[in-house]
Chain A
Amino acid sequence: MTEIHLTLPARGPFDLLERVARGADLSGLDGLYAPSDPGGLDSLVVAAGALRATRYTLTAAAFSPRVSTPVYAAKFSASLQRFSGGRFGWHLAGAAPDVTAEFLTVAKGVWTAPDFSFEGRHFSVLKGGLGPVLAAGPFPRVYLSGTSPAELELSARHADVHVFDPADDIEALLPAGVTAALRVTAEELGDHLGRAGIYLVTSGEPLRDAYRIGESRVG
């Protein structure tokens, strides 16, 4: 099934963010996407608010592995999974592939293993482990992006979803076992349907498009 995810307006205001989130939820969209915008609101704060405002839609936040330790990111996210019924996802971008790889190794390690130790170049942990209660929810769905061999290799190992742009040759690049996501504008969406499993839709009128896209799928 094709999933439609609507990009939240990164500059708010919060009232609009909440109405867009509720609109996407009401009209049956599959997800929301909190982008990383240096001029905008923090994506993790936006995502937490969007999850609280919704019942069904997934919400992914784009952030850099440089902003937090992987243990803390896992802990913060474990709470959001507990609070939201497991609807939170990560789009990790903005760090070199080796940093992102270590970040994911440690975050997944403390999520899944009871006594996880790891000594890396960038991150380490000794006898970590969130424990059965915090880690009961699913690990956040992992989105990665980039078209270099190192980035694609990283996705093959760690990603659930690889994010492409319309000009990319998805068929040639998509690692096996990974779902393709395509970043498109609301106007472009119709032209690209069929190319990817997930569409990350940006819109200048996100509230209107939340309902318009939702209704076009049921109509």
Chain B
Amino acid sequence: MSADLYWRVHMEGDQSSLRSRAHVRGGFEPGGIAPGVRGGRPDGFTHLDYIGEVARTTEAAGFTGALLPSFPHTDDPWAAAASLARETSTYRFMIAFQPGFLHPVQAARMAASLQLATGGRVVFNIISGGGGPAQLWWGDKVDHDDRYARTSEFLDVLKGVWAGGFTHHGRFYQVEDESLPELLAGRPLPEIFFSGSSPAAIAAAGRHADYYLSWLEPFDALAEKFDQVRAHSETPPRFGVRVDVLARETEEEAWEEIRQGWANRPSPAGREGGDSIGVARSAAFLADAGDGFRAREVAPNVWGGFSELRDGPAFGLVGSYAQVAARLDELIALGADALILAGVPHLEEAQRVGAHVLPLLKGI
């Protein structure tokens, strides 16, 4: 058993810790650093300078690469990957995007250009969209199940153009004898991580995904989901799991960090309505959890309160270095072929996890 280990690189700015939700790094709130102020004037640094530091830190810490996630009001993964393509040497850039953003021929051209710039280090995270007001914000009126049909067609066209001489008259895209130019042709197609928890997503993933990517859920639910995907796949699929980790020398230190964050968390804001099945599943796992942060530990070290302390999904792992490593090994044993870890702040936690957790993993 072995697994690729990715880190997550924030696009939304970064917090100093889980104890305060202020994004003091990256220029999303007044004050803070990258950009900062020096002598009363902007210092000229940007969020990209800090993102680059996180990329270099995680590459040095031993990670395979990083997921660059996509949200409406954050920086953009294609823009960040294209800007930083030449600044690491082994690091893979996993670019999250929705098929509705770009024409598939353009996505193929951009990806092939980046493959050339990086020596083949681009990975895709295809997301079909959280739906609701957020989809309309993007100018995307295609509804939930149709978005997966479009995703399938998008990937058919992208792969066809990549292979060359591709003609397609479909519901969403028309392409006539399209190829990449000689300069861009013949490079490896980026591996595809495919997200989505609904039956429509799982059906589409079966056709196109190299990796089926899920947020962390209680392990039995995750195992069940993996079984569903296997049932829809002609070839045995590979699995990726997105896992936040809060690991410290001792279990007590880790929970103390959570306790302080929980005490300082802002009152729950109104959530944007969407048709994300993943969000609904996470909420269901916590339906019986009582008050207090420890009530959200639904299984040993599996904690469902991260969404209260930072932007992103609910579940992650909390515990000592050894405990977190043991849980990650369990995920690998469950069938995870890739783990996408994350922690806040993204830079220091990548260094910590690289130094103290990764060496304890048996499965890599």
Interface residues of A (CB under 8 A from B): 11-12, 14, 18, 38-42, 44-46, 48-49, 51-52, 66-72, 75-80, 82-85, 106, 123-131, 133-134
Closest Cβ–Cβ distance, residue A151 to chain B (whole Å): 22
Specify which chain B residues have a CB less than 8 angstroms from the CB of A71 in the assembled complex: 137-139
Specify which chain B residues have a CB less than 8 angstroms from the CB of A14 in the assembled complex: 86, 116-117
Closest Cβ–Cβ distance, residue B78 to chain A (whole Å): 6
Contact A79 B183 (CB under 8 A): no
Contacts A130-B73, A134-B75 known; 12 new A-B pairs at CB < 8 A: A14-B117, A41-B116, A45-B85, A49-B86, A52-B86, A69-B138, A82-B46, A83-B48, A124-B139, A126-B133, A128-B137, A128-B138
Closest Cβ–Cβ distance, residue A23 to chain B (whole Å): 16
Contact B73 A80 (CB under 8 A): no
- CB pairs A–B below 8 angstroms (25 shown): A11-B183, A12-B183, A41-B116, A42-B109, A42-B113, A44-B78, A45-B117, A46-B113, A48-B82, A72-B100, A72-B139, A75-B72, A75-B76, A76-B78, A79-B76, A79-B79, A83-B75, A85-B44, A125-B138, A126-B133, A126-B139, A127-B136, A128-B136, A129-B137, A133-B28
Which residues of B277-309 have CB atoms within 8 Å of chain A's CB atoms? Answer: none
Q: Which residue of B lies closest to A40 (CB)?
A: B183
Contact B101 A69 (CB under 8 A): yes
Q: Which residue of A lies closest to B48 (CB)?
A: A83
Q: Is B80 an interface residue (CB 8 A)?
A: yes
Partner of B106, one of A12, A68, A129, A134: A68
Closest Cβ–Cβ distance, residue B149 to chain A (whole Å): 18
Partner of A126, one of B28, B47, B102, B137: B137
Given A48-B83, A49-B82, does the pair A72, B101 have CB atoms closer than 8 Å? yes
Q: Which residue of B lies closest to A130 (CB)?
A: B73
Contact B103 A67 (CB under 8 A): yes
Partner of A72, one of B73, B138, B183: B138
Q: Which residue of A lies closest to B70 (CB)?
A: A75
Q: Which residue of B lies closest to A55 (CB)?
A: B44
Q: Is B182 an interface residue (CB 8 A)?
A: yes
Contact A79 B75 (CB under 8 A): yes
Q: How far is the CA of A39 from the CA of B109 in the complex (A)?
A: 10
Q: Which residue of A lies closest to B47 (CB)?
A: A82
Specify which chain A residues have a CB less than 8 angstroms from the CB of B114 in the assembled complex: 45
Closest Cβ–Cβ distance, residue B270 to chain A (whole Å): 15
- Which 6 pairs across A and B sit closest by C-beta, in order of nearness? A48-B82, A126-B136, A67-B106, A79-B79, A83-B48, A125-B139
